[in-house]
Structure 1
Amino acid sequence: MDGTVLIADDDRTIRTVLTQALTRAGCRVHATGSLAQLTKWVEEGRGDLVITDVMMPDGNGIDRIPAIREARPDLPVIVISAQNTIVTAIRATEAEAFEYLPKPFDLPDLMSKAGQALSRRPRRSDAGAGEPIPTPRESADPTMPLIGHAPAMQALFRMVARVLNADLPVIIAGEAGVGKTTIARSFHDLSDRRDRGLAILTAADAAEDSVGRAAEKARAGTILIENPAGFDAAAQARLIGLIESMEAGPDRASAPRIVATTGPDPQADVASGRLRSDLYYRLAGVTVAVPPLRARVDDILPLAAHLLARAAAQGLPDRSLSDEAAAILRAHPFPGNVRELENTMRRLALTASGPAITAAEMRETLSQQSAPRPPAMASVAAPAPEPAVPGAAMPFASGASRLSDAVEAHLQRYFDLHGEALPPPGLYDRILREVERPLLQVALDATGGNQLRCADLLGINRNTLRKKLTELNIEVTRRRKLM
C-alpha cells in the first residue's frame, strides 16, 4: 500500500497497533486521540485515507464526516466503532463512509479495506459535498434491541443500511423471537418514510376493508405484513390485489413500501402450499435473514447487560450479572431467542436477591423458563447429565440437554410447522449442510483459520477439509483479533 493514513481513536492501543501495521504495509501514518486534530490535518490537505472511531472525547466521528466531505470530497473515511447498533451502521452508510467495521475488528480485514480505499476513489452520490446528511431518529424503545457485534448481525445491519430507502419490498425471515418485527419496523422508523404512516397487517385483521384501510393509512409510508403464510387463501389474494394496484395504479408515486416477516424458510412455506408463490415473489424484492441467538453467542452478554439497564430505566431494580451467572447464561441454547433472553432478564431484575445476579438464581430462572419437550419425547424421562468422557455423547449446554436431544427437538418443531404435510424433499442433505457448515466455521474460528490444526481438531484429512470448505463456499482467513 502507498499513501498517508490519518487515524483518530481515543484508545492508545488501537492507535499503536494500526500505526505499526499500516507502516509495515508501506503507508505514512498520523495518529491522534482528538477529532479536532484530525479535522485540522484534513483542512491542511494531509492524508489519503481517514480511519476514525465514532465516540471520541471531543465529538462523534460520523458527525464529523460532513466537514471532511466539504473540505476534501474525495477523501475516503473508514469508520470503526464499539457501538455495534443498527443505527451506527445506517448512519455510517448515509454519511457515505467508505466502510464501517465494528470493534473488535479483524486486523487483516481492516488492512484489506484500507488498501481498497487507497487504490480507488470512493463511490459518490448525487448529493452536493456540503449537503447536510440526514440523521435517522433513534429507535423509540424497540421491543428488542438491535445491537450485535457477531458477524451475522453486522452483515444484517449492512444489508438493512443498503436497502433502507430503496423502493423494494422486503422479507424479514427468521425464527420466532429473533426480533423480526423490530427489524421490520426499523425499515420505517429509520428511513426517509418515517414521517409517513405505518400500518400493520396480521392474519387476524386481513379482511377486505382492513386491507384497504391499511393502504390508506400507510400512504407514502410502510405496510408491515406479519407472517403472510398464516393468512387464509382469500386474504392472500387480497394482498396480491393490493400490491398490484399500488404498482400500476395512478397513485403509485405515493404507494407505501411493503415489508413482511416470515418464518426462517419462506420458500418451504411456498412448497407446502401455506404461502402462494405469486405473493411470495411480490414480497421478496430483498430477503433479510435474521440469525437465531445461538448463532451469535458473543452477543448474549452485551444484550443481557442492555436489557438489564433498560429494565432499571423502566423502574425495576438495578441488577448486574455475576461472572458465574454470565457463564451459565452464555451456555444456554435459547430456543426462544432474544425474546426469551428479554423475559429472563426482566424476571431476574425483579426476583434477584441482591445487586449481582447469582449462578443459582440464573439456573433456577432458566430451568423454569425452559420450553417443554415435544410430545414425541415427553414420555421419556431424561437421564441426569453425566460428566463428559472421551467417546461420550457431546453435551449441548451446561446442565441442559445433549446435542442429540436439541437436534431432535429442533427437527420435531420443523416437522410440526408443516402440519399434516411433509417438508420439501431433500431434507437429509439440507440438515447435514446446516450442521456441517457451523461446525467447520466454529472450528476454523477456534484454530485461528489454521487449516492443519482445524483438520486435526475435527479428525479429518486436510484435503477433505479443503474440499468441504470449497463445496460450502466458506472463506478462510488467518485471523488476529484486535480488541
Structure 2
Amino acid sequence: MAADILLVDDDDAIRLVVAQALRRAGHQVRTATCLAELDREMRAKLPDALITDVVLPDGDGIDHAARIAADHARLPIVVLSARNTLTTAVRATEAGTYDYLPKPFDLDTLTRTVAAALARQNGIDLPADEHADASLPLIGRSPAMQEVYRIIARVVSNDLTVLVSGESGTGKELVARAIHDLGPRRASPFVAINMAAIPRDLIEAELFGHERGAFTGAAQRSAGRFEQAAGGTLFLDEIGDMPRDAQTRLLRVLQSGEFTTVGGTRAIRAEVRIVAATNRDLRGAIADGQFREDLFYRLNVVPISLPALRERRGDIAELARHFLDRAAADGLPHKVLDGDAVAELKAFYWPGNVRELGNLMRRLAALSRDDRITAGEIRSVLGTTTAAGEPADIDLDQAVAAMIDHLARSEPRALDNGTLHARLVAAVERPMIEAMLRRHGGNQLRAARAIGLNRNTLRKRLDVLGIDPDANSTAV
C-alpha cells in the first residue's frame, strides 16, 4: 500500500538510500534533517508513517516521538538508532513507537517493517517476520542481541509468561532480571529458584510452601517461592529438570492462578509474573515423555532465545573490556587487551559462553604481569582450541572428539542436556561459510549455491553469526 512517509535523519547518506528504498516500494517520501524540520513537515501535512533517528542536531528523537505519539495515537513511528542498547529499545517502546531498528539495518527489513506498520494502522495483521546468571552483562551490539533487546522491550510493560532458552553461561537470569527491573513490578521481589538444584521430593514445598506437620521435619509453616515473590517476578531456572509430578502441579497453578501449600487446604492467589529458563531442548524432552507439552505451551507465550557467545563474536571485545573494568572496580589491577589478544578471544569456541569469558578476564586481571594482556597470555590459558573447537594439525574426527572431551571437562551437563548436536553444527557452520565466501571472492549468491542454501537464508546466517557481508550488501 502506497503511503506518505516522513523520514528524519541528519546523515545525508542514510536519508538518500532509505528514501530510495521506500520509493522503490511505491511510497512517497519527505525528508527532514532535524526536529525543527520534522515539526514543520508535520504541520504542513500529517504523514502516514514517521521514521526518525534518535540523535538529531536539535534534540532527542525518542523524546520527540513520545510527544508526537501522544498527539497522534494512530501514527506509526519507527525509530532508528546507532545507540544499540537495551535502554534505547525500551525507551522507544515506552514512547509508543511501532518498532525500533538498530543501525546498521537491512533495507528489506526496514521496508517490511514500514509495510507491517501501515497494515496495522489499517486493521490488517501481516504474517510475522521469520527472524523474530545475574552477574553476566546484558550488553552487545550484534544482530542476535538486538533481537533480544527488542523482545524484552515489548514485554516489560505486560505480564506475559516468558521462556528464555540458551546454553549455560549465556545470561538467562540476567534477561529475567531485566524484564523485572524495567517493568511495573520492579518495586516488588524478584525470586529465583533453580529446579536442577532442589531435591525432587522437596520441589513442591520449595515452590508452594508447606504447613506445620505436612511432612517429617516440617516444624512450622514455611512460605514457598510463589508467596515470597508476591507482586513481583518468579524466575524458574532450568525448568526442563522439573519432575513430571511437579510439572502437573505447576500447570494447574498457571491455569487457575491459585495454589495451595503442601498440607494446606486454603487457595492462595498466585500474584506473580513467571519467567522460566532452560538450556535443554524442551520439544525433544516432550517427544521423550520427560516434559509436559501443555506446560510447555503455557510457559512459551513469549520465547526469547539467547545466542551462544560464538554466535555473537562481534560482542566479545566489548564484553571483555566490561569484565576487565569490573575487575578493576573490585580492586584488581586495571588491564587492557591488545589487538592480537582480542583476535585470539574471537577465535575461541567458548563452550562456557559469557560466564567463561568473564572468569577468564578476572583471572588475567589478577595474574597478568603487565598492564596489557597479550595473545600469548590468552593462548596459555585457553590452549590452541579454535572457533571450530579444532586443535591445530588434526583431522575432523579428532577435532570433534577433542571438542566433546573439552565439553565433558568444562561443562559435564553439556553431554546430556540435548544441546550437543546444535553445538557441533554451530562449530562447523561459521568456518564453512567464511571459507566458501573466500573461495567465491565474497559473492554471496555463488557461495550460497555452493553450500546449498538460498541467498536470503545465507544472509540471515551471516547476521546471526556476525560475519561481515560483502561490499555489495544493502546494509546501511
TM-score computed with the length of structure 1 as normaliser: 0.71
Output the CA distance in 2 between the equivalents of 1:247 and 1:271: 29
Letter in structure 2 aligned against 1:29: R
Q: State the identity %.
A: 37
Alignment of 1:286-305 (within 5 A): 286-305=302-321
- Residues 385-418 of structure 1: per-residue CA shift (max 9 Å, x gap): 24xxxxx8479xxxxx946633675699999667
Letter in structure 2 aligned against 1:246: G
Alignment of 1:39-438 (within 5 A): 39-45=39-45, 47-56=47-56, 58-114=58-114, 116-117=116-117, 121=121, 142-203=134-195, 204=197, 206-211=202-207, 212=209, 213=223, 214-231=225-242, 236=247, 239-240=250-251, 242-243=253-254, 246-247=257-258, 255-271=271-287, 275=291, 279-367=295-383, 385-386=392-393, 393=395, 402=399, 405-406=402-403
Output the CA distance in 1 between the equivalents of 2:233 and 2:35: 38
- Residues 99-139 of structure 1: per-residue CA shift (max 9 Å, x gap): 22112212332244345556763779xxxxxxxxxxxxxxx
Unmatched 5+ stretches in structure 1? 125-140, 374-381, 387-391, 396-400, 459-463
Report the Cα offset of residue 339 of structure 1.
0.7
Residue 473 of structure 2 corresponds to residue 480 of structure 1:
yes
Report the Cα offset of residue 314 of structure 1.
4.7
Distance 1:366 1:409, change over 3 A: closer
Output the CA distance in 1 between the equivalents of 2:226 and 2:148: 28
Output the CA distance in 2 between the equivalents of 1:239 and 1:271: 20
Output the CA distance in 2 between the equivalents of 1:393 and 1:80: 46
Letter in structure 2 aligned against 1:196: S
Distance 1:9 1:143, change over 3 A: farther
DSSP 3-state at the match of 1:63: helix
Letter in structure 1 aligned against 2:446: L
8 Å Cα contact 1:228/1:275 also seen in 2 = no
8 Å Cα contact 1:65/1:95 also seen in 2 = yes
- Residues 43-83 of structure 1: per-residue CA shift (max 9 Å, x gap): 45464433222344544322222211134433322212223
8 Å Cα contact 1:22/1:29 also seen in 2 = no
Distance 1:473 1:108, change over 3 A: closer
Output the CA distance in 1 between the equivalents of 2:57 and 2:14: 15
Letter in structure 2 aligned against 1:267: R
Report the Cα offset of residue 182 of structure 1.
0.9
- Residues 203-262 of structure 1: per-residue CA shift (max 9 Å, x gap): 445555432322222223221112134445665565456545525899887621222221
Report the Cα offset of residue 181 of structure 1.
1.1
Output the CA distance in 2 between the equivalents of 1:369 and 1:469: 29
Query: Match of 2:127?
Result: none
DSSP 3-state at the match of 2:163: strand
Output the CA distance in 1 between the equivalents of 2:114 and 2:456: 31
Residue 461 of structure 2 corresponds to residue 454 of structure 1:
no
Report the Cα offset of residue 96 of structure 1.
3.1
Letter in structure 1 aligned against 2:237: E
Distance 1:114 1:423, change over 3 A: closer
- Residues 138-179 of structure 1: per-residue CA shift (max 9 Å, x gap): xxx952222333333333333333444444433222111011
TM-score computed with the length of structure 2 as normaliser: 0.72
DSSP 3-state at the match of 1:64: helix
DSSP 3-state at the match of 2:63: coil
Query: Match of 1:127?
Result: none
Query: Match of 1:30?
Result: 31
Distance 1:217 1:80, change over 3 A: same
Output the CA distance in 1 between the equivalents of 2:329 and 2:13: 33
Letter in structure 2 aligned against 1:98: Y
Distance 1:238 1:442, change over 3 A: farther
Distance 1:210 1:407, change over 3 A: closer
Report the Cα offset of residue 312 of structure 1.
4.2
Distance 1:99 1:416, change over 3 A: closer
Output the CA distance in 1 between the equivalents of 2:381 and 2:57: 40
Number of residue pairs matched by the alignment: 433
Letter in structure 1 aligned against 2:238: N
Output the CA distance in 1 between the equivalents of 2:254 and 2:113: 40
Q: Identify which range, 312-321 or 190-199, moves more after superposition.
A: 312-321
Q: Identify which range, 431-440 or 179-188, moves more after superposition.
A: 431-440
Output the CA distance in 2 between the equivalents of 1:119 and 1:284: 27
Distance 1:437 1:65, change over 3 A: same
DSSP 3-state at the match of 1:327: helix
Letter in structure 1 aligned against 2:187: D
Distance 1:409 1:326, change over 3 A: closer
Distance 1:186 1:114, change over 3 A: same
8 Å Cα contact 1:221/1:255 also seen in 2 = yes
Letter in structure 2 aligned against 1:92: A
Report the Cα offset of residue 97 of structure 1.
2.1
Distance 1:114 1:314, change over 3 A: farther
DSSP 3-state at the match of 2:362: helix
8 Å Cα contact 1:39/1:68 also seen in 2 = no
Report the Cα offset of residue 345 of structure 1.
2.5
Output the CA distance in 2 between the equivalents of 1:412 and 1:353: 28
8 Å Cα contact 1:168/1:286 also seen in 2 = yes
Distance 1:310 1:52, change over 3 A: farther
